[in-house]
Amino acid sequence: MILVSFITPTLNAGKVLKDCLQSISLQTIKDYEIIIADGGSTDNTLIVAKNFKAKIFKNPLKTGEAGKAVGIRHAKGKYLVFLDSDNLLPSKNWLKKMLLPLQKDPQIIGSEPISFTYRRDAGFTERYSALIGANDPYAYISGIYDRYSYLSGKWTGLKIETQDFPNYLKIKLNPNELLPTIGANGAIFRHDFLKNYFKGDYFFDIDIITSVIHQTHQPLYFAKVKVGIIHTFCESSIKKFIRKQKRRIVDFYQFQNIRQFNWQKNNRSATVKFSLYTITLIPPIFDSFRGYLKKPDFAWFFHPLACLISFFVYFSATLKNVIGQKNIIDRSHWQQ
């Protein structure tokens, strides 16, 4: 069996995919395969993938979650690494460090980087995401974020039972407790675990954890490895940020009936908290200055605007859903 399968959903991602695959090729561990689940790219995505000897499979449902499901079905690795095409592995021994807790502790079913790698020369949206520890300000404000935040000094705002080891944290995810948004941007799962529990055409990473905990009524153990991952998140484009937030909320409502994890049910107070935090304006402005004092970077001052954009995009989509209007995204020209 191949040791590791890298699974990357793509759709017109050629511009960023080359750098992603290049970072994989530099890893000290060479026993891996690259699986590209492509949603019908019309740019040079497939050419880039072939140059890195990736195995390419069609993803007719186009979404990233559907692409992950395609990858799981075709993967041969003992461990499955879920990378978005705009992820970069920041060091040559990244994979080795990420596999360590899985190889050392059979209780641990997956691992994930503890932070987004901060790069001072990156675009302001990438820097903002790395600074607050989330791609979505809603996740940070509601406390369900899962990457280290320079603002809070923690990797999550939730109370999670944790054992601290030199290279990673072993975290216990308990039944009937709110979970952080674990499972994307460099997360690794044991293949046997997914083979036993995952069925379907869409792989929602947080859902598989929730589903298994509810089925077994037993806790699951995950590792937060003390490394980062680069997420080039929207570069420096507010337009792309708006598009991603829109896609996030539209997909939430579109696939709500097949999801195992209901954010509204599990964290009802979060929407009220986020709304009040945003529309009063003072808290996000205050946090921008507070963050700047902790780690000086003008990207902090995107925070109030990011909150406002997210609030109005989410409010608009929610209102349409309430009155019965369908939110549909045209993915024919979708890009990473």
Instruction: Kindly report the length of the chain.
Output: 336
pLDDT at 119: 96
pLDDT single digits (tens) 110-123:
999 999 999 999 99
User: What per-residue confidence (pLDDT) applies to 216?
Assistant: 92
How many whole angstroms separate alpha carbon 307 and alpha carbon 179? 22
Class of domain 2-237 (CATH, top level): alpha beta
Instruction: Work out whether the CA dihedral 117, 120, 122, 127 comes out positive or negative.
Output: positive
Least Cα distance to 208 among 185, 188, 176, 183 occurs for: 183
Rounded to an integer, what distance in angstroms lies between the CA atom of residue 35 and that of residue 7?
A: 5
pTM of the model: 0.93
The per-residue pLDDT for range 203-253, each reduced to its tens digit, is 988 889 988 998 899 999 999 999 999 999 877 789 989 998 998 888 888
Residue 212 pLDDT: 92
> Which residues does the chain have with pLDDT short of 70?
1, 260-267, 326-336
Q: Judge contact between 117 and 250, C-beta under 8 A.
A: no
- DSSP secondary structure of 123-172: -HHHHHHHHHT-SSHHHHHHT---S--TTTSSS-SS--EEEE-SSEEEEE
